[in-house]
């Protein structure tokens, strides 16, 4: 089981304008790649270019987790020599880009907030997420499981944390401001230890990969 | 029972015992093994079955996983509504022959199922959903025993596998159930070769049910009521089902969180019995084969022992029949070979001995010359050869002269050496083809092959010259002479016996020759000898059987007409050859040594006759002739005394006549015997007086009472003056010596008158009477006595004419 702990803490120098989020799994280990979104009335949205790129590189989505505002176009350029068949059956956005190679397919507009799980039909292990955040501010925890946000603590209404290991489940939401009053919040996700993104390859596919190398 | 049979019986019964025991032991072991094997098979089948189920599970997992990886399926599951999802499950489940298909959400909630009986509770009870929720996105670990959950729905057992559906993240689980049905049971049966039944157990209600089985309906019913269903571990029990007895084991197949599913393995005892029967049959075949083989082996072994023995016994039998040249190869091992060698040695030993005996049988031991037997054989061969080639051969028979003297005077040793030397000399001058044989003590035979009559004198000459050379033995110069008789083939005979006999006859003739003692066989001489030989044999027999008869020739006493006297004359009428002259057969008796028997016979017969006459009132003085040989018999007086005594006949009735020559021959001894006889009171008479050469001195000294003048002086007495002088003077001389005189051969009255005038005492002759048989003699004597009584001075038989006398003489001859 992995637990995701998110810590949100203020900068030590200017405590009121910073929140440090520490994400941990159920064993207390830091949890990277956790999606943290902050909701508050006066919070300025984080900058988000209208088009975001999720590459297919080395038969992986890169980046694996992408956070965007609703209405963002996501491009899926194929950097591999093999073709890919990217799809999503998520309710937020169902799409399918049938087999394509070097020619970049049309971008997909993520118009509704929600978690979009993406896979590749011909590479079952490929798993990527586009997190369409309803909240203005968001970010990903680093390898230490921490995320530092430049935010006015007083404006924060709710802190939501989600991790790919939680699959299609809704994010964990924290509304108790006392949790982050010190400029730091630790959030433990009900996940077992280990990175759920390291999904093992299908044995058959491994065989093919080995053969193609 | 023969040794071979015994040996066979022992071997066969031993082998049979061993084989039967082995058979029984092997059978028992086999049965045990078979049962144990079946147990092992059952227990092994459990493992195989578990592995098979596991393999099946993995196959099912793999196939279900392929199914869940299908993009269309994923899309259907991720996006479709309930009915669509259900139909998709049904469709895809059908692809992998799943009897049950369901979808469970990632959180473990049953979403849809192709079987309404599969409720959330059942699912939970099966442990699948628990597994799903517990494990989250992680698949159940492979190989874990819990990985083969089995769900029982409405008496159908399903092997359940589940596979996550990721689109691309986990959105739920596909659960598929594969029925464990009779077909599967049969597939497993094909694998493990035992009957099996998958059962649901209910320990509380004992509502045990057979879910799938290879068994029939009835057996399923029986087995569901079996009390052995809750067996654990490696127990194997016997269970009787409707179709027969089974070996039976139960194995609990694990289920997630449940233990009410079990598999029963049953191996029909019938199959064991069948296998056992088959093995037993084969063993029986092997046993029979082994018995047959050992029988043959025993026969051969026994034969290998008895065979050589039988062969040896055959060899021994042949040896006993004289076959001494057998090669003896018996085989059968070293002992038999040793025995066979002993037989070979024995054979050659017998052969050598036989050869030696044969040599001894055919050779003279002193001179090593062939003996008579071999000579006979050689003559036979020579006869055959000579006949074939039309040639002659000669056979000589030699007798050494003077050898006997050397033998008696100088000794055997010297004479033997002499013989040996002479033999060698004879051999040295003989040709190689000739045979020099020793056929008697000093008799030799020489077979001269291819010899003509003309050559014989020359050969004889060489032999005489050879014998004229002296032989030196022990410093003594010895010389022996030789007589040679010879015969020629085919002139003198054509067979060995005849030739030998005639050569012997010739030799006898040669011995009697003056000058050169060499004689060939003269025709006829052999036949005389043969006749003598035959007469000798017949005479001996006739004497023994009392076949001789006695005739009596009456005498007349010139002085006393009433005095009765006869001379007993022995007569032999041969049944085939007729009358035999007494002179000849008496002499023959003397020569063949049976004169004593003859004399005894005559004496006893005569004395008996005298006794008879005496009882008839005839007092007859009877003369009996003795042989010269009788006078050499010192027992004669005793014999005579005994005979007289037994017959109660006075000695004066007997006169014994002896010839002049007999008395002279061995005067001393004869004198003694005669004295012995005379002492008995028996009168003695000299017979044939005048023919011998006795001197008057001897005559004077001899104990005699009478002279008998030989008939040669008497027969023509009336006509010959000389005879008259001799007879007259002899009578005077005898009277002067105190002897009586009897004249023989008186044939006419003139001679009788002369004799009476000479005062001769007695006379006999044909004038008076020829010799008469006992009955006639008795009658004659009675008549004579009667006549004498009636007219004492009348001549009683003067009527007998000279003509009659002559006739009688004729018939007598």
DSSP string spanning B644-700?
HHHHT--GGGEEEEEEHHHHHHTHHHHHHHHHHHHHTT-EEEEEEETSS---HHHHH
CB of A192 within 8 Å of any CB in chain B?
yes
B655 strand-pairing partners: B623, B683
For B176-210, letters b (16+ CB in 10 Å) and e give bbbbbbbebbeebbeebebbbbbbbbeeeeeebeb
What pLDDT score was predicted for residue A204?
45
Give the number of other Cβ atoms within 10 Å of residue A112's Cβ: 14
Task: Yes or no: say if B587 and B572 are a contact pair by the CB < 8 Å rule.
Answer: no
**How far apart are alpha carbons B327 and B768 in whole angstroms?**
88
**How far apart are alpha carbons B615 and A133 in whole angstroms?**
201
Kindly tell me if the per-residue pLDDT of B352 is higher than 80. Answer: yes
ipTM of predicted complex = 0.73
Q: Residue B687, Cα to own-chain centre: how many angstroms? A: 69
Distances (CA, A) of A178 to A159, A182, A185, B272: 12, 8, 9, 82
The single residue listed with the structure tokens 């029979």 is B288
Task: Yes or no: say if B88 and B80 are a contact pair by the CB < 8 Å rule.
Answer: yes
Shortest Cα distance, chain B CAs vs residue A189, angstroms: 14
B648-681: per-residue pLDDT in tens?
999 999 999 988 777 776 677 888 889 999 999 9
B170 strand-pairing partners: B166
Nearest to A60 by CA among A143, A106, A140, A124: A124
At B78, is the secondary structure helix, strand, or coil? Answer: helix
CB of A150 within 8 Å of any CB in chain B?
no
Nearest to B51 by CA among B148, B161, B156: B148
- Is B168's CB within 8 Å of A117's CB? yes
Average pLDDT over residues B345-354: 85
Average pLDDT over residues B693-710: 81
The single residue listed with the structure tokens 């070996």 is B247
- Is A118's CB within 8 Å of B74's CB? no
Nearest to B800 by CA among B770, B776, B772, B777: B770
Shortest Cα distance, chain A CAs vs residue B128, angstroms: 19
What is the share, in percent, of chain B residues with pLDDT greater than 70? 92
Mutate to test the interface with A, among B169, B170, B172 (most CBs of A within 10 A): B169
Q: Measured between CB atoms, which of A94, A121, A167 is closest to B170?
A: A167
What pLDDT score was predicted for residue B652?
92
Residue spans of chain A under pLDDT 70: 1-16, 167-168, 193-213
DSSP character at residue B434: S
**How far apart are alpha carbons B67 and B361 in whole angstroms?**
124
Element (H, E) at B762: strand B762-763
Mean pLDDT value across chain B:
83
What pLDDT score was predicted for residue A9?
42
Average pLDDT over residues B534-562: 88
Strands (E) across chain A are located at 18-24, 35-39, 51-53, 55-57, 60-62, 65-68, 72-75, 84-88, 95-100, 108-110, 114-120, 123-132, 137-140, 146-150, 158-162, 172-174, 184-188
Give the residue with greater pLDDT, B238 vs B649. B649
SS3 per-residue string spanning B367-404: CCCECHHHHHHHHHHHHHHHHHHCCCEEEEEEEEECHH
What pLDDT score was predicted for residue B81?
76
A10-14, B221-225, B357-361, range with the lowest pLDDT? A10-14
A13 strand-pairing partners: none
Is the bond leading into B587 cis (omega within 30 degrees of zero)? no
Shortest Cα distance, chain A CAs vs residue B75, angstroms: 7
**How far apart are alpha carbons A100 and A94 in whole angstroms?**
18
B280-305: per-residue pLDDT in tens?
888 889 888 888 888 888 888 777 77
- Is B136's CB within 8 Å of A192's CB? yes
What pLDDT score was predicted for residue B811?
43
**How far apart are alpha carbons B285 and A171 in whole angstroms?**
85
Kindly tell me if the per-residue pLDDT of B411 is higher than 80. Answer: yes
What pLDDT score was predicted for residue B154?
79
- Give the residue ranges of DSSP H helices in B106-180: 120-126, 128-135
**How far apart are alpha carbons B598 and B680 in whole angstroms?**
21
* Neighboring chain A residues of B106 at a CB cutoff of 8 Å: 167-168
At B143, is the secondary structure helix, strand, or coil? Answer: coil
What pLDDT score was predicted for residue A199?
46
Average pLDDT over residues B113-140: 64
B165-179, B379-393, B754-768, range with the lowest pLDDT? B165-179
Distances (CA, A) of B794 to B458, B784, B790, B797, B799: 75, 11, 9, 9, 11
Element (H, E) at B789: helix B774-790
Task: Yes or no: say if A4 and A146 are a contact pair by the CB < 8 Å rule.
Answer: no
What pLDDT score was predicted for residue B805?
45
What pLDDT score was predicted for residue A15?
46
Give the residue with greater pLDDT, B52 vs B123. B52
Backbone angles phi, psi at B554, to 5 degrees: -65, 155
Choose from B185-194, B775-784, B791-800 the range with maximum mean pLDDT: B775-784
The single residue listed with the structure tokens 């000669």 is B394
Kindly tell me if the per-residue pLDDT of B17 is higher than 50. Answer: yes
Give the residue with greater pLDDT, B803 vs B398. B398
Chain B residues bordering chain A (beta-carbon distance below 8 Å): 69, 71, 74-75, 78-79, 106, 136-137, 166-171
Confidence tier at B752 by pLDDT (50, 70, 90): very high
A137 strand-pairing partners: A38
* Neighboring chain B residues of A200 at a CB cutoff of 8 Å: none
CB of A202 within 8 Å of any CB in chain B?
yes
A105-124: per-residue pLDDT in tens?
999 999 999 999 999 988 88
Confidence tier at B450 by pLDDT (50, 70, 90): confident
- Is A117's CB within 8 Å of B71's CB? no
Q: Residue B621, Cα to own-chain centre: how many angstroms? A: 71
């Amino acid at each position: 089981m992995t637990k995701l702990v998110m810590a949100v803490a203020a900068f030590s120098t200017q405590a009121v304008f910073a929140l440090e989020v520490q994400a941990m799994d159920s064993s207390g280990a830091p949890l990277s790649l956790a999606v943290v979104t902050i909701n508050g009335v006066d919070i300025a949205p984080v900058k988000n270019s209208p088009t975001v790129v999720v590459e297919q590189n080395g038969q992986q989505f890169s980046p694996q987790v992408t956070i965007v505002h609703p209405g963002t176009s996501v491009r899926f350029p194929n950097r591999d020599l093999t073709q890919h068949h990217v799809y999503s059956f998520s309710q937020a956005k169902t799409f399918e880009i049938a087999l394509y190679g070097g020619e970049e397919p049309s971008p997909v507009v993520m118009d509704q907030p929600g978690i979009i799980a993406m896979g590749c039909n011909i590479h079952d292990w490929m798993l990527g997420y586009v997190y369409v955040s309803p909240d203005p501010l968001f970010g990903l925890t680093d390898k230490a499981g921490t995320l530092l946000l430049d935010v006015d603590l007083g404006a924060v209404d709710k802190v939501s944390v989600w991790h790919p290991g939680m699959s299609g489940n809704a994010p964990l939401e924290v509304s108790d401001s006392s949790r982050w009053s010190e400029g730091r919040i630790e959030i433990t996700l009900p996940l077992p230890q280990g990175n759920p993104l390291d999904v093992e390859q299908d044995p058959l596919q491994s065989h093919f990969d080995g053969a193609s190398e | 029972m023969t040794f071979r049979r015994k040996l066979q019986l022992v071997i066969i019964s031993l082998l049979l015992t061993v084989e039967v025991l082995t058979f029984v032991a092997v059978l028992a072991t086999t049965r045990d093994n078979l049962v144990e094997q079946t147990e092992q098979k059952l227990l092994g089948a459990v493992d195989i079955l578990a592995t098979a189920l596991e393999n099946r599970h993995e196959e099912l997992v793999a196939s279900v996983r392929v199914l869940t990886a299908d993009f269309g399926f994923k899309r259907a599951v991720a996006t479709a509504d309930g009915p669509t999802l259900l139909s998709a499950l049904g469709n895809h489940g059908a692809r992998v022959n799943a009897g049950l298909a369901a979808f469970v959400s990632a959180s473990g909630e049953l979403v849809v199922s192709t079987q309404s009986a599969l409720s959330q509770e059942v699912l939970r009870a099966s442990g699948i959903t628990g597994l799903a929720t517990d494990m989250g996105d992680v698949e159940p670990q492979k190989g874990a025993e819990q990985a083969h959950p089995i769900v029982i729905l409405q008496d159908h057992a399903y092997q359940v596998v589940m596979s996550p559906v990721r689109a691309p993240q986990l959105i739920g689980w596909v659960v598929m159930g594969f029925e464990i049905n009779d077909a599967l049971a049969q597939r497993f049966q094909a694998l493990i070769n035992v009957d099996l039944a998958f059962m649901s157990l209910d320990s509380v209600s004992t509502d045990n049910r057979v879910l799938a089985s290879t068994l029939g309906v009835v057996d399923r019913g029986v087995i569901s009521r079996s009390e052995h269903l809750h067996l654990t571990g490696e127990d194997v029990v016997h269970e009787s089902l409707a179709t027969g007895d089974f070996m039976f084991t139960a194995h609990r197949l694990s289920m997630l969180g449940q233990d009410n599913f079990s598999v029963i393995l049953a191996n029909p005892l019938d199959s064991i019995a069948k296998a056992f029967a088959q093995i037993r049959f084969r063993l029986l075949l092997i046993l029979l084969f082994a018995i047959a083989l050992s029988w043959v082996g025993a026969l051969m072994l026994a034969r290998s022992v008895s065979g050589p023995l039988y062969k040896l016994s055959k060899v021994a039998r042949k040896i006993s029949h004289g076959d001494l040249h057998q090669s003896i190869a018996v085989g059968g091992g070293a002992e038999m070979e040793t025995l066979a060698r002993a037989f070979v040695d024995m054979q050659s030993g017998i052969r050598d001995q036989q050869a030696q005996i044969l040599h001894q049988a055919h050779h003279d031991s002193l001179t090593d010359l062939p003996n008579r037997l071999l000579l006979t054989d050689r003559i036979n061969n020579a006869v055959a050869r000579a006949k074939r080639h039309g040639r002659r051969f000669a056979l000589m028979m030699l007798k050494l002269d003077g050898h006997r003297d050397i033998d008696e005077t100088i000794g055997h040793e010297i004479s033997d050496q002499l013989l040996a030397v002479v033999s060698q000399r004879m051999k040295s001058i003989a040709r190689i083809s000739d045979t020099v044989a020793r056929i008697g003590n000093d008799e030799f035979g020489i077979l001269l092959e291819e010899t003509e009559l003309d050559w014989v004198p020359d050969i004889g000459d060489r032999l005489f010259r050879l014998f004229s050379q002296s032989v030196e033995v022990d410093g003594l110069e010895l010389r022996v002479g030789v007589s040679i008789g010879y015969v020629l083939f085919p002139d003198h005979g054509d067979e060995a016996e005849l030739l030998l006999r005639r050569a012997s006859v010739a030799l006898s003739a040669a011995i009697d020759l003056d000058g050169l003692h060499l004689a060939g066989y003269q025709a006829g001489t052999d036949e005389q000898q043969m006749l003598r030989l035959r007469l000798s044999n017949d005479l001996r027999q006739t004497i023994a059987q009392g076949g001789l008869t006695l005739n009596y020739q009456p005498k007349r006493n010139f002085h006393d007409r009433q005095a009765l006297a006869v001379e007993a004359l022995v007569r032999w009428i041969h049944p085939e050859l007729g009358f035999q002259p007494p002179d000849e057969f008496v002499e023959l008796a003397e020569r063949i040594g049976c004169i004593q028997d003859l004399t005894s016979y005559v004496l006893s017969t005569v004395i008996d006759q005298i006794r008879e006459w005496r009882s008839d009132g005839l007092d007859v003085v009877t003369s009996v002739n003795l042989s010269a040989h009788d006078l050499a018999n010192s027992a004669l007086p005793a014999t005579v005394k005994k005979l007289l005594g037994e017959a109660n006949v006075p000695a004066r009735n007997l006169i014994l006549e002896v010839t002049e020559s007999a008395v002279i021959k061995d005067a001393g001894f004869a004198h003694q015997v005669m004295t012995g006889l005379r002492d008995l009171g028996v009168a003695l008479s000299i017979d044939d007086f005048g023919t011998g050469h006795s001197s008057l001195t001897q005559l004077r000294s001899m104990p005699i009472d009478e002279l008998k003048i030989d008939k040669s002086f008497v027969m023509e007495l009336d006509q010959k003056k000389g005879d008259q002088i001799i007879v007259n003077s002899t009578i005077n001389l005898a009277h002067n010596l105190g002897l009586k005189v009897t004249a023989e051969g008186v044939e006419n009255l003139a001679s009788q008158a002369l004799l009476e005038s000479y005062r001769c005492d007695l006379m006999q002759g044909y004038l008076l009477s020829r010799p008469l048989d006992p009955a006639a003699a008795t009658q004659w004597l009675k008549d004579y006595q009667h006549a004498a009584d009636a007219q004492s001075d009348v001549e009683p038989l003067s009527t007998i004419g000279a003509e009659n006398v002559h006739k009688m003489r004729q018939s007598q001859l």
